[in-house]
Every structure is written in structure tokens, then in C-alpha cells.
Structure 1
């Protein structure tokens, strides 16, 4: 290892940051602990159950359900990056929490990679439904098993690489502050800790570029896909159009869920100052809780194929 790399590693390991978000929840710490615990346990059980059903049922080994399984697995990885440490801090910590810059950077990389991958996977789902409903004769050729594997790899590798670059830009800047008014680390807060200069401006510009590439462009494509699906469905018979719309409904609800949470997060971080701690903490709570609880409910209750297998699975266990 070179001397420069060694110095960088020591700098990252020895720099400590303070997460002040826990102080805002101190008066109701146990209440939030049980709230987050129930949400996390619910996500683990429900997402895990749907994943088991999709993996064990050969009839569900189709691109649509493969993308659903990938999205739920993606959600579990994101929850693992936030929930265990947050639950520990709510139970045992009484004030601000000290974290190393390296741990904060790792959390930022995982959380933002998972967020970007979620939008990419939702885009892949929209493309799958668009081809199945609007171009059914070409579905087998356009959505082949090889294509699905390549798309899944792309959906994870592209956000991971882009987020890694922005995280490295953020942690390489000289820091003039060390307090983050959040429950967890995020890129915006890391950039606000820096002393400014060209590096900070470059990091902000690259963050906007990543948001466009992994959020805005997928949103535009998803809206175009579902608009085309709606148009084609309205032109068909009532029975076939209602079936197509029911198939797309779970994906659309999850897409709206992610989009709303991301919009609230971006607007809150960009429009409000660093001193508004209460709103920052409230936003971070909602962004953590809402997708965790709603996504498995949407896929568990609105996809009849999965729901039917889950009922049979739970029913067989009760009769044993």
C-alpha cells in the first residue's frame, strides 16, 4: 500500500462524526424503538415470505416476478444498512451518536445504491409490463432470461459505481464541521460538513447528475410506459384492459411510494437550511418507515398469484 493510500485510510478511520438526530427522539426513544422494530420485523417476515414463494414456485419464475424478488431483496439490503444500528442506538444511546467517517461513508454508499437500484428495477418492471401488454408478440425475444440477467446486473452495478464516486468525493474533502442532523448518514450532510471549495462544488454537481441518471430518467421512462399501457388498455375490451391494469397496479403503487419519499427527501434537503434539525429528523424517519411497511403490503395483497401461494403455504402450516 502506498503512503498516500495509507494516510487516506488513517484519515477516514480516525475522523469521527456526530449524528444528532437521536436527540430529537430522546423523549420518546422507546416508542420509536418499538415502532422501528415492528416495521423491521414486518419487512423481514413479509419480504422473506414473498421471496421464498417466488423462489420455490416454478410457475413464478417469470421476468415480472424475478424483478419483484430483486426489488424486495434490494429493500432488505437497504433496511439492513439502517435498522440494526438505529435500533441499537435507540435502545442504548441517550444522546448524540459518534460514528467514524468510514462507517458513515459505507452507510451512504449502501443506502444510496439501494435507492438508485430501486428506481432502476422499477424501470425494468415498467419495461417488462410495457412489452407484455403493448408488444406481446415480441415479448419472448425482448425479455429473454439472458436479458433479464443483464438488466439485473446493470440495475445494481450502475448505481453502485456512480454512488461510490460521489462518496469518495465527499470523504476526500477537508471537514470543517462534524455534526449531522439525521438518524443516519447521507451525501448531502457529508457535503455540508466540508470547508467548501471546488471539491464541494464538484461533489454537488455530480450528486445532481446521479439524481438525474438514477431517479429522473427512470421516472420519465416509467411514466411513459404506464401511459402507453393505459392507452392500449383503454382501446381493448373491458375484460382484457382491467386484467392488464390490475397486473400493473402493484408496480405503479410501489413506484409512487418510492417517488414520493424521494421527492420529500430531496426537497427537504435542498430547500431547508442545516439548522432545521426537527424537520430533517422527521423526514429521515418517514423515508425509513414508509417504503419498509408499504412495499411488502402492496406485493402481498395486490398480486393474486403471490397471494394465492402465500395463503396455501400458511394454510398448510396451520393444518399440520
Structure 2
């Protein structure tokens, strides 16, 4: 493929460099990880949605994180899996599909910050103002926080990519496993000064807002715990905040490693690997950490998989099968 084809709608993804020996192990690992991400995150959302006892702001806000993980991985991992099985010369992608992939990729990364920021606000209100929690964190407030998180992300990413769309392209090779904004504007031979300035401002403002809000809320939570002599309050704060903080640190560390490796072109293969891990690690660990730490979710799952309940379900199913033999297989 010509390296200087102006405004071509067909682009080439360099993708992961895999050999015949490691191609199928990598494929199987990514496939099973992707299936786990879908099952775990969709399962948590369905559980929270159907179980009325879990209709609490903390769980409803966490649903945003699960939806974000499913969205971010569903447009990325299947494409990476398909590219692993074909030679590098056949890893072609349409320009508009590439734009959509870049949009979802940046939505995923930015939305992870905004969602965790509104979850931090929820934890702050619950611990520092427990008597007013129900009055503050109403259904309307949860909806407003959710719309704000997604809306701010959408606007920021839309402006980011609109600055890239205006550029003329003179290259067609994307040296990444998937499309993102830096890969797209690097295809241009135009002046990308504005893109670099906005991209840098975008990243700095997002990180300062995200880290600043976490430091502020957790400082106030720590002060509330230190001044309070209530063991139940401190225990509740430790359980809920440790889960949220763990999710935040996983997301932040994954992103910072990827941003750092972008500054070292000689480590391109490590950057490719980290760019995929940035998506699949939080998506895999978030439902595990939240599900294991959450007392309500653990209780529901223990009841769901209780041998007595399973036995009752089997006996009930057998009775139904006896009454409706043509429609049921015990």
C-alpha cells in the first residue's frame, strides 16, 4: 500500500506482531477475557436492575462503569481478534470505522474518570452527611450525575475528533492495534499544532479534575472517620471506599503507563500490548472487585447458588415437566 495516498478511505492497521507459535494462545486469551468481561459486567447490570434491594445510588452509579467497560471492549477486542488471524498486509479498516473506533476508545477512557468522580461524590455524601444522604442522593440526582458524566465525556471527545477530521491525510498506516486520535492525526501532513494543544489540555484538565476530586473527597472522608468514634461508620467507610479507590487506581495506573509509553517510540510493541491491557484489565477486575466487596451482592449470589434453592428449583422444574411433557426437558 502506498504510504502517501491522499485522503484514502482505506487504512491499514499494523496491529500486534504475532508469530505462528504465539498467535493462537494470544487469540484464546483475549477471546476468553472478552467473554468474561461481557458475562461479568452484563450480569452485574442485570442483577442490579432486577433486584430491588440493589436499587441504591452506589450500585446504580456502578452500572455506568460496567456499561462503559462493555462498550469500550466490544468495539475493540473483536477487531483485534480478527486481525490476529490474518497477515499484517490484510489488516485493513475503513476510515469511518476507524473514526468510530477512535471515538469509542476515547469515550471509554474519559468516561472511566467521570464515572469514578461521581461515585466518589456519592461516597463522600454517604459518609460525611449520612443523615442527609437520602435527601441528596435522590433518583433525580443519580440521573443528573449520570447524564453529566456521559455528556461531558461526549462533548470533550467530539471536539477532540472534530479537530482531527478537518485534517487532510497523506498516510494510510496506523501503527497501533486499533484506531485512536493520535494515530489518526499522525496520518496528516498538515499542521497539527492545534490538535496537540487541545489533546494536551484535554488530558491535563481531565487528570487534574479526576485526581483533584478523589484527593478532596477522600481527605474529607478521612477527616470524618478520624473525628468520629463510630466503629460502624469507619467500617462502612473502609469497605466502600477501598473498593472505589482500588477501581480508580487500576484505571489510573493503566492509563498512565500507556501515556508514558507514547513518549518512547522505541517501545512500540510494549505500547501496543499496554493499549489492549488498558481496556481488558479494568473491564475484567471491576466486576470482580465490586462483586466480592459488596455485601449485598455477595448475599444475593450466595442465596442464588444455595444448594437448597437449587434443589427447590430442580424439584419445581420436574413438577412442571410432568405437567407439560411436550414443552419441557427436566
Q: Report the CA distance between 1:264 and its aligned residue.
A: 1.0
* 2:26 is equivalent to residue 32 of structure 1: yes
Contact persistence 2:45–2:63 (CA under 8 A):
yes
Which residue is equivalent to 1:254?
Answer: 247
Q: Which residue of 2 aligns with 1:228?
A: 220
The residue aligned with 2:306 is: 315
| Inter-partner Cα distance in structure 1 for 2:127 and 2:26 | 44
- SS of 1:193's partner is coil
**Which of 160, 165, 172 lines up with 1:171 in the alignment?**
165
The CA deviation at 1:63 is 0.8
Pairs within 5 Å for 1:1-320: 14-24=8-18, 27-90=21-84, 92-96=85-89, 97-197=91-191, 200-237=192-229, 238-269=231-262, 271-273=263-265, 276-315=267-306, 318-319=310-311, 320=314
Counterparts of 1:145 and 1:98, CA distance in 2: 45
Shift of 1:280: 2.1
Deviations 1:111-157 (A, max 9, x none): 11122111111001100110111122332333221111111111112
What is the TM-score when the length of structure 1 is the normalising length?
A: 0.88
3-state SS of 2:75 partner? helix
Structure 1 range deviating more: 245-254 or 307-316: 307-316
Q: Structure 1 or 2: larger helix share? A: 1
Provide the rounded CA distance (Å) in 1 between the counterparts of 2:19 and 2:162. Answer: 31
Residue 189 to residue 318, structure 1, CA distance change in 2 (3 Å):
same
Tell me by how many angstroms 1:25 deviates: 5.8
- TM-score of the superposition, structure 2-length normalised? 0.86
Aligned length: 304
Alignment partners' CA distance in 1, 2:244 and 2:284: 15
- Distance change in 2, residues 1:318/1:45 (3 Å): farther
Structure 1 runs not aligned, ≥5 long: 1-10
Based on CA coordinates, which of the two structures has the bigger radius of gyration? 2
